[in-house]
Each structure stands twice: as C-alpha cells, then as structure tokens.
Structure 1
Amino acid sequence: DIHIELSDYAVVAPGGGLTDNSHFIIPTSEVIIEKSKDNWMGMTGDVISWPSVWSKWSNFEQFGLFNIKMDKMREAFIAINNSDAGDTLIKLWEPADFFDGLRVWSWGKNYKDTRGAKPTANFENYTAVISIPAGKSIDFVTYFFTLKDMQNITMANTNFTGRLDVDKQIYKVGEDQSINIQSQIGSSKDYKNINLQVLLTDFDGVVMTQFSKEEVSAISPTKLHLLSCPSSYLYFFL
C-alpha cells in the first residue's frame, strides 16, 4: 500500500483582492485557532464560535490561520464574499466526507506590513493518512464558481447556491403560525424556466409543509432570484 496525506490548496481573491467589506462564509458553529501573529486571534487550540468578529476581513488584523474539522461542517463548501466588488467565490468538494478538515489563513488587512504579502485568502482541504492499495486509485472533485451580488450563503451545491433568512430557526406546531422569509438564489450556470419550492421540514428532514412554489424564468451566476414573503401563514398537515 501507498500511504499519503493529501491537501487541496487554493489562493483566492474575489474582486481582485480582499477589502474591508469581504467576509468568510463557512457552514460551521466553531473553528480552532492554529496560529496567528502575536496570538491576536487567541492561543493555539482555542475553540472559537463561528461566525467570529474576524469572519469579516476588516477585523482580520494580521496573519492568522484557523482550522475547521469536517464533522463540524453542516455542508461541504466554503465561500468568501467581497461586497465592495459584488463578487462571491465558492469552493465545493465531493465526496463531502473525503477530507478530514479545512484550514483557512490570510495575511490580514495589514498585509502591506509583510513583504510579499497579498490581500488574499487561502483555503486548504486536507486528509489524514490515506492508504491506497497497489493498482488502485482514489477520486475526489473540487468545484469553484462565482456569483454576482450574492449577499450571503446558507446552502450550496454544484448547481445552486443561496441564502434563506427566516425570523426563527425552530417552529413549534400549534404555537407558531407565521413566518418571515427572505431568500436569494443563484446558480453555477444559466438555467431557464425552473420550478422553485421552499419547504418546511422537521429535524429529520421530513417535509411538513410547502411554504412557496413558483416558476422562475431565469437564474444564473449574474441573475439572482429574490424571494420576500413577510408574515406568511403556515399550514401543517399531520
């Protein structure tokens, strides 16, 4: 057998370079500090709630590196948004559990203080030791695509990505009868005449009710679909 540790590394700079209004989008609730200049992020090994204050690049003071364990990620993607340029870059990978973790680092907003540093972010997916039998192979795929004017991301796959903002994360049958929802949906390529549904599910993913359904004439990386439905009523069928 051959034993290897595999990394998939990308240096990204949407909009041509990160700005104060750039921010990291990672579907997790916690990250682990690996190292930072003068420990400005915290001590090595510290677990920090995410999103943290330095998920926005204007607060990413100096060099810093943090780590996310894959079993702490809700979905297999990471994104970075440059609101000043209106550009968002998304990285996805398949299989979702192929990597063991993800390292993220940047020189920070004061990058000019370091010779040769750039206003970039670095995404490194990594594995533990993998054993490959002689004559065999392993396969994984990494995808990148960009979107224009996406404000945030709560879900992403290789076809569609978007944000779904609601006034509550948990709804109780018999108590909560209305929902305020805002969404923004984009895609990795041009789509025309697609049916869009928003569903309410229980904790196991079982659909409880259909919140909305509509036919959308076009969605693309530059033509996003917006949905705004304030104070709509829920009807549960049990």
Structure 2
Amino acid sequence: MTTALFNLDSYQTQATAVVTAITENHLELDQTLFYPQGGGQPGDQGWITTSSARLEVIDTIKGETPNSILHCIKGDTQQLYVGDSILMEIDWPRRYQLMRMHSCLHLLCSLIPKGVTGGSVGLEKSRLDFDLGEAKLDKELLTQQLNLLIQTAASVTTLAISDAELTQQPELVRTLSVQPPRGTGSVRMVKIDGVDLQPCGGTHVANIKEIGIATISKIENKGRRNRRIHLLLEPQS
C-alpha cells in the first residue's frame, strides 16, 4: 500500500519516501507524490534521488493490488534496495499543466448537461466526448462560456461521500462508461464552488483562475450521438 500524498496536496513537489518493493524497472514506495495514470490523466514523471544515484521516473501506474502505485524507472534499479530512503521530485511544469487542463475539463462538463462517454487530459490539448443526441454545440459560444466561468475565480476543493450517498445521487456520476471505484466506504469528490461536483481521483488547481485562457478548438462527430470536444489552453508565462 502506498500513501497518496498527491491527494493531500497537489502542489507539493518534493518529499522523502522509503522503498518498499523493487522489480527490474519499477519501484514501490511507502508514500508518493507521483499521480498514477487513471481517469484520463497521464501518470506523473520526475526524479528519484538516492545517496548514490538520480533516477528518472518516466511514468507512474497503478499496481495490481489496491492502493499500489508503481514508479516506472528509466534504466535499471540495481543500485536500489528495499528499505532505502529516497527523495522524490515530480516534474512540476508538466504536472501543473495537467492540473489546469483537468480542472478546465470539469468546467466544460458543467456547461454540457449530457453523459460523458470518454476523455483525455493532455499537455497540449485535451478532450471530452459527450452523448449529445440531437443537441447542437457552438465552439465560439462554449469558449466564451468557459472563460466567463474561469473569471469567477471559484475555489476547488475535495471532499468524501459514502458509497451509499453516491448511489442515492446517480446524477453526480457524469461518465457513462466508467463508474467511480466503490468498496472502500468513501468516494473522493472534486468540488468547484458553485459550478460542479463530481467523483474524481485526479489532481486539480486550487482556484479556477489558474486555468488561464481556454479555447474550444474543434467539435467532431464521433458517431450518430457522440461528439468530441477539443480543448486548448494558452501557455502561462
């Protein structure tokens, strides 16, 4: 089991940990800042430093057992041993861009009251797929609505509700193909104050003003009912 520090503070960039398991190209730690790929968000990258080496983390994924997180190391791990203390450092510019993108996708989701059939959080562009039926969308209007929302500077927080509470409020689950994990007794929710509330395990900005300027670049037909909406963000200085 790995303690997920990224759920406690998505802005923390460095921390120490202890190696708990090693395979040829993967490390497990007792706690981690590295977000594992899931929910459309890529796994974190960064570095792990020991007393004798600095190793590059090229991806982070979930392990086979519950709450297991694997750090994918470039090269081998022969210089590491179980019980070693290490310093971990995430690639912060990359993580922060993904946080901005992911939060903006939640805003987009709040503007379109339809089921989400897929999505992807990317560095250069992101997307959400919606089951729109016969509904029509206009990318210029959506762009305007997104940026008006961003200007409200709403705070972003997390909370937990019970499995039973989520079952009683099915409208909170926007994804049609994937249900949030149940069975641990509680489900992590991401709340954008006055705008959106939905289950999510990803990392987000603390305030939506950090997203900056957003643009809906394209809306594609992906079947009779499905529409794919592409999102871009302006680079931050």
TM superposition score normalised by structure 1: 0.26
More helix by share: 2
TM superposition score normalised by structure 2: 0.26
More strand by share: 1
In our comparison, the structure showing a higher alpha carbon Rg is 1
